[in-house]
Amino acid sequence: MLELERPGDLAQYVGKEIGVSDWFTVDQAIIDKFADATGDHQWIHVDVERAKREMPDISMATVYNCLTALVKCGLVRQVTLERGAARFCPNMQEHCHFYCDECDSVFDVDWTQGAIELPRGFKAKRYELAIHGQCPACARRAN
């Protein structure tokens, strides 16, 4: 393994192969570890300000490219809640989301009402439903 003392030392290796690593598969266990590390078990989402603060050298393009790859692999799906940040949900089952208007938390909600009746000729692939209101913690604080 190549070890360098300073990032500038890489300049001498430009254009040269310095090693090839094996492919790394991102499986559900890795996603779960990410959720454990971030304390965010409902969502994998992008918090640009936090990323800049905690990892100042990270490229936002890299973050978005990785998230896009996870979407394309079917491991997460992108959820857009109005004008907020892009969020990525690892729950691939059909469900809807409850958005707390006070604390900005988002919760998965099972959809057990059956199919939504569509006009004749329409065929749905999936649906996105966002319910807005107050989560239990915010409701307790309000009382």
Tell me the two tokens of residue 21: 């690593």
Is the C-alpha dihedral spanning 28, 127, 40, 84 positive or negative? positive
2, part of any domain: no
| Residues with Cβ within 8 Å of residue 96, at least 6 apart in sequence | 109, 111, 127, 128, 129, 130, 131
pLDDT in tens, 76-126: 888 876 666 677 888 888 788 888 889 888 888 887 666 678 899 998 877
Same domain for 121 and 68, yes or no, is: no
For residue 127, give its domain range.
Answer: 93-143
CA proximity to 64, closest of 76, 24, 30, 53: 76
19, part of any domain: no
Place 136 in a pLDDT band, splitting at 50, 70 and 90: very high
- Looking up tokens 């192969």 gives 17
Please tell me whether the overall predicted TM-score, pTM, comes out greater than 0.85 for this model: no
